[in-house]
Amino acid sequence: VIEIGQPEHSVVTTCAYCGVGCSFKAEMRGEELVRMVPWKDGKANRGHSCVKGRFAYGYATHKERILNPMIREKISDPWREVSWEEAIEYTNKEFRRIQYQYGRGAVGGITSSRCTNEETYLVQKLIRQGFRNNNVDTCARVCHSPTGYGLGQTYGTSAGTQDFDSVEQTDVALIIGANPASAHPVFASRLKKRIRAGAKLIVIDPRRTEMVKSAHIQAEHHLALKPGTNVAVVTAMAHVIVTEGLFNEAFIRERCDWSEFQDYIEFVSDPRHSPEEVEKLSGVPAETIRGAARLYATGGNGAIYYGLGVTEHSQGSTTVIGIANLAMLTGNIGRPGVGVNPLRGQNNVQGSCDMGSFPHELPGYRHVSGDAVRDIYDSLWGVKLDEEPGLRIPNMLDAAVDGTFKGIYIQGEDILQSDPDTKHVSAGLAAMECVVVQDLFLNETANYAHVFLPGSTFLEKDGTFTNAERRINRVRKVMTPKNGYADWEVTQLLAQAMGLNWNYKHPSEIMDEIAKTTPSFALVSYDRLEKMGSVQWPCNEKAPEGTPIMHIDGFVRGKGKFIRTEYVATDEKTGPRFPLLLTTGRILSQYNVGAQTRRTENVAWHAEDLLEIHPHDAENRGLRDGDWVRLKSRAGETTLRAQVTDRVSPGVVYTTFHHPDTQANVITTDFSDWATNCPEYKVTAVQVSPSNGP
């Protein structure tokens, strides 16, 4: 007898929100999802979960989901529902026309960090094999692309070095530009438990987050730096470690390039990097910098965890390099309890990068200019791949405005809401002749689309996600796609319309192709994942059971490489008109631009974005808690309510970006990381004034 509301069966799958990658049992009654129960055997979460994964799945059946393909010749026309056949054929004809008329490089695509590895692999394959160019990019461009560059340069590969279990052996945790309590809650719980057990904590963040002080933990040192000065502070910590002789010479001699270290020592010892000098730039007291550096260098196993507060800066890549330098300096790499750990934001941002979503890299982070790598794909795919890197997202938009880029296939990404400089994004999209959006809802980007292809949720497909610890977790289909097809099937339909010989019957066959062509995935298969539950790449002949901790015997690039980290102030300056610095972050119950969480019961929990402002700055402007304020930058303005709090320092304001009404990205500038173009979301000069509301 089945009681009303009781499940009939359950399927183990993976949360589709953050990079922790929690495993859940989806309990089902027929095609109805009754509840999500955190799975005790999930290696990333061990039976724990946060409010998003547990409760925020209602978007899958939300009434606003678009289930039928739509076309319109002009964006001023109304949408017209069409069959899948017509939508696919129209898209194919348009892309072919554009390439014939404007050239092979006039089209490109964007993969999604929300979709599976297999889906991401297919999108980049479609672009490289079908469009015959490398114009593919990913939403990682706007979050962790500096991690790819910085860790690639210093260690030889772009990934977190540790598994989450490693934190159990950490003695000193250094958190930089991250608030795991909000953004990676299940990992934050493990970290807090370790702190409560006696490990020490250092936090570098402009804001006093829950990790700095909460009911059960308190950081030893909080370096509340001025936004934009990460490089100066991290280099000053290295200065202290070097000038006080706290570095690990034996480790460096054995594992790192000694001549580059000599050059680095000369650079970092310079008095301009001293804590006293850096205090003038960053506002962090010199003694706090010294204390943090000494603790990290001498406190036992030191582990660094960092987030978008590191990467989304004009010197994001430089800070990642500085962090990698710190770990090498102190020998805090290559064993349990230590390491450098980017806390990846989206569920599959690690995977989307692994799968060749960047315009200069094929799957497995291999540069497109490498003849031997291209040969593998040339022979498998039967085409000659382009050896020139393609366009990044901002370059695609620039080229569109210039009239040389005309068509784009965007899977699972709302670039109008999530990318910086909204006016430029809309100008680029408006200039294109065929914008194809594949998504669950009519998002902001779809306002500029000519074709809308309904997307599928994680509950409606098989595949894999790769979490922040490189763990490849299975995603299992628990219900039939409401739109008719899983996302990978739609990409395959497009490929077949283009005349490509794709006949994948199941995502496992896509993974088999990934394994065949990508050394770090060589032994990954659905069979292995069934047997092991999950596996961390590299998983190959050398490591058939996977690799929980990287760089144990040597760095992927051979010797670790020290690189100078010269601080260069951002061009975004405060002044009389824009005297405050705005930085941004997330809250626990909402996720990114809120497309999913706002369409669940969570919507009621935090219904608006607030502007945190220090009591002194509020008083100077005659503001009280809850007042409406106008937030204005050189790029744009918006209206929201003030929250007066000393969590932020005088001169700094803070908001979240979960609600489209606030449009925080209207405010942000078009400055970006020098190496990767990752936008500088975390530093914007603003003015705040009283307002009567929107």
Closest distance to ligand SF4 from the beta carbon of 503 (Å): 33
Q: Which of 413, 426, 161, 419 is nearest to 312 (CA)?
A: 419
Q: How many angstroms separate the Cα of 658 from the Cα of each of 61, 329, 346, 357, 596? A: 20, 38, 14, 25, 10
Q: Quick one: 22 or 524, whose CB is closer to ligand SF4? A: 22
d(CA 172, CA 303) in angstroms, rounded, equals: 6
The token pair at 502 is: 């794709």
Q: Quick one: 24 or 562, whose CB is closer to ligand SF4? A: 24
d(CA 138, CA 35) in angstroms, rounded, equals: 31
> What DSSP designation does 679 have?
B
The residue within the footprint of ligand SF4, chosen from 159, 186, 368, 459 (CB under 6 A), is: 186
The phi and psi torsions of 145 (rounded to 5 degrees) equal -60, -35
Residue 185 binds ligand SF4, judged by CB under 6 A: yes
Residue 17 binds ligand SF4, judged by CB under 6 A: yes
Q: Quick one: 50 or 338, whose CB is closer to ligand SF4? A: 50
451 strand-pairing partners: 71, 436
Report residue 533 CA to chain centroid gap: 24
Closest distance to ligand SF4 from the beta carbon of 606 (Å): 15
C-beta of residue 372 within 8 angstroms of C-beta of residue 492: no
Neighbours of 51 (CB within 10 A): 15
C-beta of residue 369 within 8 angstroms of C-beta of residue 381: no
d(CA 587, CA 609) in angstroms, rounded, equals: 9
Candidate ranges 98-106, 183-191, 206-214, 309-317; the one touching ligand SF4 (CB under 6 A) = 183-191
Q: Which of 101, 93, 115, 125 is nearest to 501 (CA)?
A: 125
d(CA 208, CA 694) in angstroms, rounded, equals: 29
Closest distance to ligand SF4 from the beta carbon of 230 (Å): 25
- Give the sheet arrangement for strand 434-439, strand by strand: 80-81, 70-71, 451-454, 434-439, 407-411, 107-111, 136-138
Q: How many angstroms separate the Cα of 51 from the Cα of each of 22, 105, 535, 593, 609? A: 12, 44, 26, 17, 18
Closest distance to ligand SF4 from the beta carbon of 34 (Å): 17
How many helices (DSSP H) and strands (DSSP E) are in the chain? Answer: 23, 26
Closest distance to ligand SF4 from the beta carbon of 165 (Å): 16
The residue within the footprint of ligand SF4, chosen from 7, 13, 20, 422 (CB under 6 A), is: 20
Q: Quick one: 21 or 364, whose CB is closer to ligand SF4? A: 21
d(CA 306, CA 327) in angstroms, rounded, equals: 13
Residue 302 binds ligand SF4, judged by CB under 6 A: no
d(CA 674, CA 566) in angstroms, rounded, equals: 13
Q: Quick one: 188 or 493, whose CB is closer to ligand SF4? A: 188
The residue within the footprint of ligand SF4, chosen from 12, 13, 18, 507 (CB under 6 A), is: 18
Q: How many residues bind ligand SF4 (CB under 6 A)?
A: 14
Candidate ranges 13-21, 198-206, 283-291, 422-430; the one touching ligand SF4 (CB under 6 A) = 13-21
Closest distance to ligand SF4 from the beta carbon of 36 (Å): 9
Candidate ranges 19-27, 92-100, 205-213, 271-279; the one touching ligand SF4 (CB under 6 A) = 19-27
H runs (alpha helix) in 126-184: 145-154, 180-183
Residue 392 binds ligand SF4, judged by CB under 6 A: no
With helix as H, strand as E and coil as C, how does 534-568 read?
EEECCCCCCCCCCCCCCCCCCECCECECCCCCCCC
Per CB under 6 A, which of residues 39..58 are in contact with ligand SF4?
45, 49-50, 52-53
Closest distance to ligand SF4 from the beta carbon of 42 (Å): 9
Candidate ranges 182-190, 264-272, 311-319, 430-438; the one touching ligand SF4 (CB under 6 A) = 182-190
Closest distance to ligand SF4 from the beta carbon of 348 (Å): 11
Candidate ranges 15-23, 76-84, 290-298, 621-629; the one touching ligand SF4 (CB under 6 A) = 15-23
Residue 15 binds ligand SF4, judged by CB under 6 A: yes
36 strand-pairing partners: 26
Q: Quick one: 180 or 359, whose CB is closer to ligand SF4? A: 180
Closest distance to ligand SF4 from the beta carbon of 185 (Å): 5
Residue 472 binds ligand SF4, judged by CB under 6 A: no
Closest distance to ligand SF4 from the beta carbon of 510 (Å): 23
Residue 21 binds ligand SF4, judged by CB under 6 A: yes
Closest distance to ligand SF4 from the beta carbon of 597 (Å): 10
Residue 176 binds ligand SF4, judged by CB under 6 A: no
Residue 458 binds ligand SF4, judged by CB under 6 A: no
Q: Quick one: 45 or 665, whose CB is closer to ligand SF4? A: 45
Binding stretches for ligand SF4 (CB under 6 A)? 15, 17-18, 20-22, 45, 49-50, 52-53, 184-186
